[in-house]
Amino acid sequence: MANQTKLINFLNQILKNSYDGIKSYKDAARNVEEGAIREFFIDRAKEKLVLIGALKEEIYLLEGIPVEEGSLMNLFSRSWNNFKTSLDHDNAKEISKYCLEEEKKRVEEFGILLRNPELVSEAFFEVLDDQNEKNLAAIKALIEQIKS
């Protein structure tokens, strides 16, 4: 029972981070003018919605209660980032750096579950594996955006 509670708490933390990720990518899309990078941020927000649905389903399957919103600390972090980018002439690059750091954190989180597939259902594992691949692709895309 204690292990199940720990797993539910961990999944809820990922869920909080996913809510925060959607908000971050929506903010990012609002703060850039360039069409392709804006679309990239919008697409990433949509991908996070897929993960949120799967996380909620997995938490319910484990007889837990999913959290319904992101973290207060991330709200402050996003607000600070929005303020910084409003002052920067190259805000697409700064926003990309922020998103890159967040994606790296998600890959680390997902890695714990991907290395221990027996902890979650097969269906959730498949969604998580797919999301991890998309996160890795996003990291590469964000690095290219920062370089250019």
Q: What is the pLDDT of residues 11-70, one digit of tens each?
A: 999 999 999 888 888 888 888 877 888 898 899 999 999 999 999 999 999 999 999 875
Structure tokens at 56: 């909620």
Please answer whether residues 107 and 92 qualify as being in contact, where contact means their C-beta atoms are separated by less than 8 angstroms: no
* pTM for this prediction: 0.82
Say which residue, 21 or 128, is predicted with more confidence. 128
Scanning the structure block, which residue is given the tokens 């990239």? Answer: 40
- Average pLDDT of the chain to the nearest whole number: 84
For helices 2-30 and 72-87, angle between their N-to-C axes, nearest 10 degrees = 20
First-residue to last-residue Cα distance in the chain = 50
Contacts of 146 (CB under 8 A, 6+ apart): 93, 96, 97, 100
Long-range (24+ apart) CB contacts under 8 A made by 91-96 are 91/31, 91/32, 92/32, 92/33, 92/34, 92/37, 92/145, 93/145, 93/146, 95/28, 95/31, 95/32, 95/41, 96/37, 96/142, 96/145, 96/146
Scanning the structure block, which residue is given the tokens 């997995």? Answer: 58
Percentage of the chain modeled with pLDDT above 90: 46
